[in-house]
Chain A
Amino acid sequence: MTNYKIQDIEKSFDGKIIENLGNNDYVIKINDAEHKLKIITMNSNGIEFILNQQYHKAKYLEQSTNEMNIVIDNVPIVINLHTHFDKIVYKNSGGGTAGGVQKSLKSQIPGKVVSISVEHGDNVKKGDVICTLESMKMQVAVKAHKDGVVRNIKAKETGTVAKGDVIADIE
């Protein structure tokens, strides 16, 4: 049994395949409800299926062991997966919402680095401007995602960053 959590939705769900009826027909169970599912096509990039007589198309984007990015019928959704065993390991390693904020500040957009407003060792508060990027003729401020001390500034003035690149660490 795997436990699923959809980002921005409070409820979590247990789900599994309970029966393979053959001919690509399955019965799956989500929490207490059983659903009929027929796979039309499937490969590692996506799936088309009929669930309770309704057609759906999903794409599987990035995925790690316990996070899936999918696009279901054009709606992007992030799903976190935990086998019950995972959950215990996760808790014991200090994960979860309490101390779980990442230290790396990443760029949400690609662009040219116009200026860097902080230096190594500066104390910053969440929301302080760390650097300014230029993309599509617009300047965009990258702000600190948490309080802390600036370490390892990776971005360089007049250089470029890609989406997801680390700008600096805030510890």
Chain B
Amino acid sequence: MIEKVLIANRGEIALRVIRTCKALGIKTVAVYSDEDTNSMHVKQATEAYHIGEAAPAKSYLNQEKILDVMLSSGADSVHPGYGFLSENDDFASLCEKNKITFIGPTADSMNLCGDKMKCKAAMLKAEVPTVPGSPGLVKDADDAEKIANEIGYPVMLKSVYGGGGRGIRIVTNDKELRDGFESVTGESIAAVGKSAILVEKFLEKTRHIEYQFARDTQGNAVHIFERECSIQRRNQKLIEQTPSPVVDEETRARVGELVVNAAHAVNYTNLGTAEFLRADNGEFYFIEINARLQVEHPITEFVSGLDLVKLQLDIANGEPIPFKQSDLKMNGYAIECRINAEDTFMDFAPSTGPVPDVTIPAGPSVRCDTYLYPGCTVSPYYDSLMAKLVTWGQTFEESRTRMLSALNDFYIQGVETSIPLYKTILNSDEYKNGDLSTDFLKRYDMINRLTADLKTEKENKTDAALAAAIIHSEYFKSRIQNTTSHNSHWKDKLD
């Protein structure tokens, strides 16, 4: 039985895990870097251990140091959160060797999920559709052309070594394919000294729809509905919601069955997420399994009524999943906005520094998981996610308007945030109508619409802002002149 959990993470996810452990009477061990001495997870955990310098490689990614703390603190298990070591199969295997329960899949299963080629092969075997393309690397341009003609243009040439948008070409005919093949090869060789290219069907106006699933050590598996995470920037999710506006009950069950098959196919244990691309014609294509708890898990918690961290602990304890697929009923609608410390107008560049003041939204069916408190600091060393703001409603409209009102109440002084952008998105007709796609921001010109909205917001506040400024400047004038008697009361009020 798990009695003491080390949380190998920081920030809001460390707090999220601590919260469930506390409710279950399980002890928690926090680890922290120099940068996090004054962070909330250190104060909330039963025990806290310093593990090194601010740079992640010297602290939250330092497996030996974390193992030392696991052994010396007497922790019987470790929760990796997301990011850092959560999908590192070496770390999972290190825990297994030291008889510490890793709250997540086995190292073998994690390794399989992390290897795109092997995972794709396992899915094909389990008859889970993947994006049409070459079964592996293509030999040469001739081979690529043959496959492109089989699956149909447009296709994407992808270097397996290139990341972050480099080493990718979208081509629409044989000639473009031959030119593209040459340039992708060149780029890849220039960057890493070798080249290996895949061909994949290019899908336009796709949605990102993923499924939460759970599988226990006895091999029982369920899916816990879908989450639509199409609103993204640079392939990172910004807003998630469940149910998806394009998934009806029949589709939910049909794709859900594929998800359960996928979980069996990689011999998965614990909670995971199967990600799909949904093409505009309604077809679902498997992309990958995320072998960890996801940032957006709270929306699933809202509509399922489950505590997913508790479910993780139960499965890690070797218990069977305490419900059947047919017991799960989807209740209502939930939305999550990732409150990031970033400047929308500087291409989402990070914004860091002290946060002297914070107002955290609250209210019925409003949940905010955050590490922020007045006087805290947003560190440049770690991820920009400051808070997950989640709302629930009996209808989509109720969850949307609750989110807008919570966003209005959320005030973070000192850093730029993604809050204004989310208000523009949630107010847009495209969002209201569920017309989502992974290129939503660009497709609907959201950044320019945000500029217009900010201007309107300022105009609406003109009188109040001027009133505040007038009072302030008259006060200063009175301090400098300090002559007329009617000004003397300022002094009483202000000092």
Contacts and interface: CB of A to CB of B under 8 A. Distances in A.
B349 A30 contact: no
Contact of B408 (A59, A74, A77, A108): A74
Contacts, number: 139
B160 interface: no
A150 B272 CA distance: 52
Contact of B352 (A42, A47, A75, A109): A109
A49 B471 contact: yes
Majority-rule SS of B interface residues: helix
Given A9-B458, A77-B461, A17 B470 contact: yes
Contacts of A108: 343, 346, 349
B408 A51 contact: no
B466 A43 contact: no
B465 A138 contact: no
Given A43-B494, A49-B471, A135-B380, A70 B353 contact: no
Interface string A44-69: 10010101101010111101000010
B320 interface: no
A93 B405 CA distance: 47
B444 interface: no
A44 B458 CA distance: 23
Given A35-B463, A42-B493, A47 B350 contact: no
Interface string A110-122: 1100000000000
A129 interface: no
A68 B469 contact: yes
Contacts of B469: 4, 15, 68, 70, 79, 81
A71 B412 CA distance: 11
Interface string B376-399: 000011111000000000000000
Contact of B455 (A8, A16, A35, A73): A8
A5 B473 CA distance: 14
Contacts of B470: 2, 4, 15-17, 28, 30
B442 interface: no
B474 interface: yes
A137 interface: yes
B383 A72 contact: no
Given A8-B458, A75-B461, A111-B380, A56 B352 contact: no
A20 interface: yes
Q: In this complex, which of A71, A109, A138 has the most chain B Cβ atoms within 10 angstroms of its Cβ?
A: A109
A72 B461 contact: yes
A109 B467 contact: no
B357 interface: yes
Interface in B175-231: none
Interface string B460-494: 01111111111111110000000000100000011
Interface residues of A, number: 50
B461 A140 contact: no
Given A15-B466, A73-B461, A138 B350 contact: yes
Nearest to A48: B468
A91 interface: no
Interface in B64-120: none
A73 B409 CA distance: 9
Contact of B494 (A42, A54, A74, A109): A42
Interface of A: prevailing SS: strand
Given A9-B462, A109-B351, A136-B382, A35 B473 contact: no
A74 B467 contact: no
Contacts of A6: 458, 462, 465-466
Contacts of B383: 136-137
Contacts of B494: 42-44
A90 interface: no
Contacts of A109: 343, 346, 349-352
A145 to B, nearest CB: 13
A153 interface: no
Given A109-B350, A136-B380, A49 B459 contact: no
B39 interface: no
Contacts of B466: 4, 6, 13, 15, 30, 79
A39 interface: yes
Contacts of A136: 341, 350, 352, 380-384
Nearest to A56: B464
Contacts of B474: 16-17
A42 B470 CA distance: 13
B463 A51 contact: yes
A168 interface: no
A58 B352 contact: no
Given A70-B469, A135-B380, 7 more contacts: A2-B473, A9-B462, A30-B470, A51-B464, A60-B472, A72-B461, A136-B382
Q: Closest 8 interchain pairs by CB?
A: A58-B468, A136-B350, A56-B464, A135-B350, A15-B470, A72-B465, A74-B411, A140-B349
Interface of A: 2, 4, 6, 8-9, 13, 15-17, 20, 26, 28, 30, 35, 37, 39, 42-44, 47, 49, 51-52, 54, 56, 58-61, 63, 68, 70-75, 77, 79, 81, 108-111, 135-138, 140, 163
27 contacts: A4-B469, A8-B458, A9-B459, A9-B462, A13-B462, A13-B466, A15-B470, A35-B463, A35-B467, A44-B494, A49-B468, A68-B472, A71-B411, A72-B461, A74-B359, A74-B408, A74-B409, A75-B457, A77-B458, A77-B461, A77-B465, A108-B343, A108-B349, A109-B343, A110-B352, A140-B346, A140-B350
